[in-house]
Structure 1
Amino acid sequence: MRFRPCIDIHNGKVKQIVGGSLDSRESATENFVSEKGADFYANMYREMGFYGGHIILLNPPGSPYYELTREQAMAALKATPGLLQIGGGITDENAAGFIEAGASHVIVTSFVFKNGNISIPSIKKLVKAVGRERIVLDLSCREKDGDYYIVTDRWQKFTKVKLSEETLDELSEYCDEFLVHAADVEGKQQGIEENVARILGDWGKIPTTYAGGVKSLSDLELLKEVGKGKIDVTVGSALDIFGGSIKIADMQKIFSK
């Protein structure tokens, strides 16, 4: 189990938000807004020995804020080439540009789902553009009728695809890693979504990162238990660097062992 740091950028600012609150008007419920740039956090993570984290652009292409958000992301990639992954509006047409700018991987959701279903032709285009070894598929999900369904368009639109071992088996042929936000608890600091972590831990065939709901160090122990030690973790709003109570220095001590 590793700690995977994050840099979420919205309207040109590094922020922590409540995951399900993003809307088409570019507003969101904010937990924290930083006055520091994305490159500051990227350099901090490098100095602390954290790697394999991700930058997420929370404004879609076409948004009036997209270029500001993209500029922040590119500054972080330039400061720490090869250290961080990047996601948000990734397609086969722009993926290579982010890799060339310094991203280790591109993180993709919406592009590989069409009409609520997995689009294998789209995935194959992405593989052709950057290679399977550079792709992270974001299978962030929300609960509906007792199951967890993958959601797209900034976690607002349900697909018809369940988060399951069958889905993970099918999609793992086309990517190097999975990233899964439990979007119902993302940014709420109310505890992890144990059932999501259990699905991922029971599968556990390629590197997979869980995000959502961590509020304390005890949540990390619970995640390690239900995930059978097979899944990595992202912590955002609960960290002291984003206004929370978990000291990132403690995370460094725990995960440098």
Structure 2
Amino acid sequence: MTRFRPCIDLHAGQVKQIVGGTLDSATSALRTNYVSAHPSSHYASLYRDAALEGAHVIMLGPGNDAAATEALAAWPGHLQVGGGISDGNAALWVQKGASKVIITSFLFPEGKFSQERLDAVLAALGGQRDKLVIDLSCRRRGDDKWFVAMNKWQTITDMEVNQESIKSLEPYCSEFLIHAADNEGLQKGIDEKLVEKLAAWCSIPVTYAGGGRNLDDLELVKKLSNGKVDLTIGSALDCFGGTGVKFDDCVEWNRKQDAER
């Protein structure tokens, strides 16, 4: 059943909501919807108190290790961590309290997928695929094609997100996280075609993020995916300065889904 999934996006050590397509090394190009006065632990505690499982903590660039560690300490064993994860530090983040680690860029040296690197990450986790989330965040190319985007969603890789690539990766992880980078932070609605495709292609849990703006989008994702895809809402939430939807309403929406099961 479709669930609301929360997030904590970290940039330069602060909790922020950023327009995904502008996230690169040129600070002048960065468009930020919200910079929180609260530390990461505030949001981790908020999710803990609401019993919201599956939240992802994403480190967008350097300088975020301390903030991510602080979030994990507030709710150890219940938050996923991504951003700069490799075979060299994956186990460390689990030791710090991550329920799962999320990996993208490390799998694509010079923009090309590396099975060897995926094997190395899984080995570092002791072969525990239940500890690994593969992030296939992507950018649209044409009407109905999406390619994995890495390096803060600026570099398009050689991997198309389609049924073939999904099926090839499923044996190595426990779920997928997929941001539609072209929709991220714009609050202009979800990529409906991508949500439909993900529901058709994925046989393990998958969370879509990008463009979510209100409770109607949760209902829409539920309808389009027949309850198979979860939705992350970020910038539109009142706890991130948004006006589109109240955090408490998302929590209540999840509770209603549980009651209907």
> Which TM-score bucket, shorter chain as reference?
over 0.9
- What residue is the counterpart of 2:38 in the other structure? 36
SS in 1 for 2:98: coil
- What residue is the counterpart of 1:18 in the other structure? 19
SS in 2 for 1:171: helix
Shift of 1:145: 2.9
Gaps of 5+ in 1: 61-65
Whether 2:70 is the aligned partner of 1:75: answer yes
- What residue is the counterpart of 1:256 in the other structure? 255
Shift of 1:115: 3.4
Measure, in 2, the Cα distance between the counterparts of 1:157 and 1:18. 16
**Is the CA contact (8 Å cut-off) linking 1:26 and 1:59 kept in structure 2?**
no
SS in 2 for 1:50: coil
Q: How does 1:212-227 map to 2 (within 5 A)?
A: 212-227=210-225
Shift of 1:227: 1.6
* Range moving further from structure 2, 210-219 or 21-30: 21-30
| Pairing partner for 1:160 from 142, 148, 158 | 158
| Pairing partner for 1:136 from 122, 127, 133 | 133
Can you list the C-alpha shifts for 1:18-67, whole angstroms capped at 9, x where unaligned? Answer: 0111111355210000010000100010001101111000114xxxxx2x
Measure, in 1, the Cα distance between the counterparts of 2:153 and 2:202. 23
Shift of 1:70: 1.1
Q: CA RMSD in A?
A: 1.1
Shift of 1:80: 0.5
**Is the CA contact (8 Å cut-off) linking 2:122 and 2:132 kept in structure 1?**
yes
- What residue is the counterpart of 1:125 in the other structure? 120
**Is the CA contact (8 Å cut-off) linking 2:181 and 2:210 kept in structure 1?**
yes
**Is the CA contact (8 Å cut-off) linking 2:81 and 2:98 kept in structure 1?**
yes
SS in 1 for 2:38: coil
* Range moving further from structure 2, 114-123 or 188-197: 114-123
Provide the identity percentage. Answer: 47
Shift of 1:86: 0.3
Measure, in 2, the Cα distance between the counterparts of 1:42 and 1:184. 27
**Is the CA contact (8 Å cut-off) linking 2:166 and 2:202 kept in structure 1?**
no
User: Could you tell me which amino acid in structure 1 is paired with residue 42 of structure 2?
Assistant: F
- What residue is the counterpart of 2:183 in the other structure? 185
**Is the CA contact (8 Å cut-off) linking 2:73 and 2:97 kept in structure 1?**
yes
Gaps of 5+ in 2: 257-261
* Range moving further from structure 2, 196-205 or 110-119: 110-119
User: Could you tell me which amino acid in structure 1 is paired with residue 48 of structure 2?
Assistant: R
TM-score, structure 1 as length reference:
0.95
SS in 1 for 2:133: strand
Measure, in 2, the Cα distance between the counterparts of 1:249 and 1:4. 13
Measure, in 1, the Cα distance between the counterparts of 2:210 and 2:142. 20
Shift of 1:225: 1.3
Shift of 1:233: 1.0
- What residue is the counterpart of 1:175 in the other structure? 173
**Is the CA contact (8 Å cut-off) linking 1:3 and 1:255 kept in structure 2?**
yes
- What residue is the counterpart of 1:87 in the other structure? 82
**Is the CA contact (8 Å cut-off) linking 2:212 and 2:231 kept in structure 1?**
no
SS in 1 for 2:4: coil
**Is the CA contact (8 Å cut-off) linking 2:5 and 2:231 kept in structure 1?**
yes
Measure, in 2, the Cα distance between the counterparts of 1:162 and 1:26. 29
Measure, in 1, the Cα distance between the counterparts of 2:152 and 2:196. 23
Report how many aligned residue pairs link the two structures. 250
User: Could you tell me which amino acid in structure 2 is paired with residue 145 of structure 1?
Assistant: G
Measure, in 1, the Cα distance between the counterparts of 2:213 and 2:9. 18
